Structure 1
Amino acid sequence: MCDTLDCPILTQIVCIYSKGVVIHFGSEMAEFNHLVLVKFKDDVVVDDVLQGLEKLVSEMDTVKSFVWGQDKESPDVLRQGFTHSFLMTFGSKEDFAAFAAHPNHVEFSTTFSAVIDKAILLDFPAKTVKPAA
């Protein structure tokens, strides 16, 4: 456990003692993801919502990357009515918290919530298994 040395354990993956020196593998500032799956209400002009979302994330420095897509391939029984997915990546959980509390995000979230029929949100630290080439 690193409790005898000054060693933060928040997101540490491995801690090895080597001649009294603590060597850290992994990052204490792991990327953090915000994944949203939605089904929009039937009368919504989805393109307008998407333009607003793209504008929001382009103005926010804490958003490291943003991708979205509309499901075209999954059988209805598997997607359970969800049609769109949105994935934002942040440099850290703190960056995500700053984004979530930002007045522009709070305002957009109110508008966004009014046009969705249902949603699933998952917020999680990233664990890269195979990095992008």
Structure 2
Amino acid sequence: MIRHILLIQFKPDAQPEAIEALRQAFLRMPDKISGVLSIEWGENDSPEGKNQGFTHCVLMSFADEDARQRYLPHPEHEALKAIFRPVLQEIIVLDYSLR
């Protein structure tokens, strides 16, 4: 299994409706792409103040490397990026494999 983590900083003018549309698009991915097992979406609520401007997180679980490789060029992923790019200020992407 592979975890795919996105730490997201939205543009200051990103509208709540656009962020919600993005959230919904992410949450639909397991129904649209084989091997995408789950999606979690969260908003930072840490009291530590160490988020460096990143306010949201997405945690995706892929069944295996084949699933990740199907996801990356998939048309549904491209559609997701089309929703994402206009509101995105900065992103950190980190993947790791469970062993």
Counterpart of 2:89?
Answer: 117
Q: Does residue 102 of structure 1 match 2:74?
A: yes
**Once the 2 structures are TM-superposed, how far is the Cα of residue 64 of structure 1 from its aligned partner?**
1.0
Higher helix share: 2
Give deviations 1:74-95, integer Å, cap 9, x for gaps: 433x100000110111111111
> 2:30, 2:37 within 8 Å by CA — same for their partners in 1?
no
Structure of higher RCO (CA pairs closer than 8 Å, 6+ residues apart): 2
CA RMSD after TM alignment:
1.5
Residue type matched to 2:35 in 1?
Answer: T
> 2:27, 2:40 within 8 Å by CA — same for their partners in 1?
no
Q: Does residue 79 of structure 1 match 2:51?
A: yes
Could you say which structure has the larger radius of gyration?
Answer: 1
Structure 1: tracts of 5 or more residues without a match: 1-30, 128-133
TM-score of the superposition, structure 2-length normalised?
0.84
Q: What SS does the corresponding residue of 1:110 show, helix, strand or coil?
A: helix
Shift >3 Å, 4+ stretches: none
In structure 2, C-alpha distance between the alignment counterparts of 1:32 and 1:43, rounded to whole Å: 33
**Once the 2 structures are TM-superposed, how far is the Cα of residue 52 of structure 1 from its aligned partner?**
2.0
Counterpart of 1:5?
Answer: none
Counterpart of 1:54?
Answer: 27
Counterpart of 2:11?
Answer: 41
Number of aligned residue pairs: 96
Aligned partner (choices 85, 88, 112) of residue 60 of structure 2: 88
TM-score of the superposition, structure 1-length normalised?
0.65
Q: Percent of counterpart pairs with the same letter? A: 27
Q: Does residue 67 of structure 1 match 2:37?
A: no
Residue type matched to 1:70 in 2?
Answer: E
Which stretch shifts more, 86-95 or 40-49? 40-49
Give deviations 1:107-131, integer Å, cap 9, x for gaps: 211321221111000122123xxxx
Q: What SS does the corresponding residue of 1:97 show, helix, strand or coil?
A: helix
Structure 2: tracts of 5 or more residues without a match: none
In structure 1, C-alpha distance between the alignment counterparts of 2:53 and 2:32, rounded to whole Å: 30
